[in-house]
Amino acid sequence: MIAGYNTVSMGTGRSEFNPKKGSRSLESYIKEAGQAVLKQIGGADNVDEGVIGNFMAARFNNQANLPAFFPLIDEGLKFKPALSVEGACASGGLALVSAIKSVLAETADVVLALGVEVQNTKKAVYGADILAAAGWNQSRKDGHAYFFPGVFSDRAGAYYEKYGKDRTRQAMSQWYVNAIENARLCHTAQETENKKSNLYGMALKMPLNPKKFVDHLTVLDCSKVSDGASAIAVVSEEGLKRIGFKPEEAIEVLGFAQMTSDITLNPTDLTVLETTKHVVKKALDMAGVRSDQLGTIELHDCFSIAGIMAIEAIGLAEPGKGVDFVIDGKSKRNGEMPINTTGGLIGWGHPTGATGVHQAVTVWEQLTGRAGDAQIEIKEDRPYALSINMGGDDKTLVSIVYKKG
């Protein structure tokens, strides 16, 4: 993968965001991200195929048939094959996997993979109803008005009961702090404008308020409504030569996995991300890499409790010990395992269909030294990275293992 690009993740947290002025158009985000990648790889003539990940443009933007937007990016993409993929919040990851499979099938040497979502067209409570389609429709009628915050609130409540509330809340507060501090170092992040001084104290002291929100989460535990697009080129070795890049300028895909579990069934254990655990293991096994060899991880922290549970699913901590991993600073940018170095979903933002692609762009930037102020040290003995993109409540999963070129 090479030539990644992220638009700004737009929403509350950026000074220029003004809901009264309306959102940028879906097509403008597609065009910006796509053209930025084409500029880096020598133009549309070098592209064989396109794939776009998106969750709910049909409802947020009244727009479907997204593959037909590729020629809008550049006339040179006219008459070239393109497709769209959807797997809720894992739609971006599915775009990457689709591109990878095209390269492995030798139907393409250069694939333009793009993810996009524009959600600020709706008020939050109405948007929450749209996003609830990532879960089983039959359970929606019994769910919270804020459906997915309610789902992960239930997971958090079960985790409190099993492993202790106070220390878990400490870890969730620290997760928020890490997200915001990392986001402040990335100019495209949604939360880059946040200048609160005592972030940890604010997060720890914010009371749970079931009457106004959900039982076991505060708003700081949640990713926010975001608009944005991300794009990257997925190429073969021949494709890399075609576009004129050296291998060390790209990142190598060593392993990947995509899994689903039954959307109609509740988790067998609310404190475990079971599908995440399996998809990560398969991706790491394909790559021949252990979790302790990773130099950085981009994981799907749609909620702070999901981030902590993902740490346990990866195998970095035993069940119930993910909280200690976070509190002890091991997930910080200068810690044992730097996680979500540009803020993740809580800090950078969560334009749902773009998130999986954004994760890959962040990995590419970090492993090739292009992350600017957000750059971390990638040690020579740990040149690998992992991304985890989750759709719904641990139902559609994509995990990819990368290596520094």
- The share of the chain scoring above pLDDT 90, in percent, equals 92
Quickly state the pLDDT bin for 125 (edges 50, 70, 90).
confident
Quickly state the pLDDT bin for 136 (edges 50, 70, 90).
very high
281 in a domain, yes or no? yes
pLDDT tens digits along 389-400: 999 999 999 999
Contacts of 199 (CB under 8 A, 6+ apart): 176, 177, 180, 181
Same-domain status, 209 and 294: yes
128 in a domain, yes or no? no
- The pLDDT score that the predictor gives to residue 238 is 97
103 in a domain, yes or no? yes
- The pLDDT score that the predictor gives to residue 192 is 78
- Is the predicted pLDDT of residue 194 greater than 80, yes or no? no
394 in a domain, yes or no? yes
Same-domain status, 193 and 236: no
CATH of the domain at 106: 3.40.47.10
- The share of the chain scoring above pLDDT 70, in percent, equals 99
- Is the predicted pLDDT of residue 178 greater than 70, yes or no? yes
The pTM is what? 0.98
132 in a domain, yes or no? no
- Is the predicted pLDDT of residue 405 greater than 90, yes or no? no
Average pLDDT, the chain: 96
Per-residue HEC secondary structure of the chain comes to CEEEEECCCECCCCCCCCHHHCCCCHHHHHHHHHHHHHHHHCCHHHCCEEEEECCCHHHHCCCCCHHHHHHHHCHHHCCCCEEEECECECHHHHHHHHHHHHHHCCCCCEEEEEEEEECCCCCHHHHHHHHHHHCCHHHHCCCCCCHHHHHHHHHHHHHHHHHCHHHHHHHHHHHHHHHHHHHCCCCCCCCCCCCCCCHHHHHHHCCCCCCCCCCCCCHHHECCCCEEEEEEEEECHHHHHHHCCCHHHCEEEEEEEEEECCCCCCCCCCCCCHHHHHHHHHHHHHHCCCHHHEEEEECCCCEHHHHHHHHHHHCCCCCCCHHHHHHCCCCCCCCCCCECCCCHHHHCCCCHHHHHHHHHHHHHHHHCCCCHHHCCCCCCCCCEEEEEEEECCCCEEEEEEEEEC
- The pLDDT score that the predictor gives to residue 307 is 98
pLDDT tens digits along 13-66: 999 999 888 889 999 999 999 999 999 999 999 999 999 999 999 999 999 999
Same-domain status, 315 and 381: yes
99 in a domain, yes or no? yes
131-138 average pLDDT score: 94
349-359 average pLDDT score: 98
Same-domain status, 244 and 302: no
- Is the predicted pLDDT of residue 196 greater than 70, yes or no? no
Same-domain status, 395 and 347: yes
Range in 122-126, 148-152, 362-366 with the lowest mean pLDDT: 122-126
- The pLDDT score that the predictor gives to residue 145 is 87
pLDDT tens digits along 244-300: 999 999 999 999 999 999 999 999 999 999 999 999 999 999 999 999 999 999 999
- The pLDDT score that the predictor gives to residue 214 is 96
Same-domain status, 86 and 187: no
- The pLDDT score that the predictor gives to residue 322 is 98
Looking at the structure of the chain, the number of domains it has is 2
- Domain boundary residue among 248, 263, 286? 248
259 in a domain, yes or no? yes
- The pLDDT score that the predictor gives to residue 197 is 72
Same-domain status, 237 and 165: no
135 in a domain, yes or no? no
Same-domain status, 345 and 389: yes
Domain, as residue range, for 329? 147-221+250-404
CA distances from 380 to 27, 249, 285, 400 (A): 41, 16, 21, 20
- The pLDDT score that the predictor gives to residue 198 is 86
- The pLDDT score that the predictor gives to residue 195 is 66
C-beta of residue 383 within 8 angstroms of C-beta of residue 230? no
- Is the predicted pLDDT of residue 137 greater than 80, yes or no? yes
220-242 average pLDDT score: 97
Same-domain status, 243 and 257: no
Same-domain status, 156 and 299: yes
Same-domain status, 63 and 193: no
Same-domain status, 26 and 61: yes
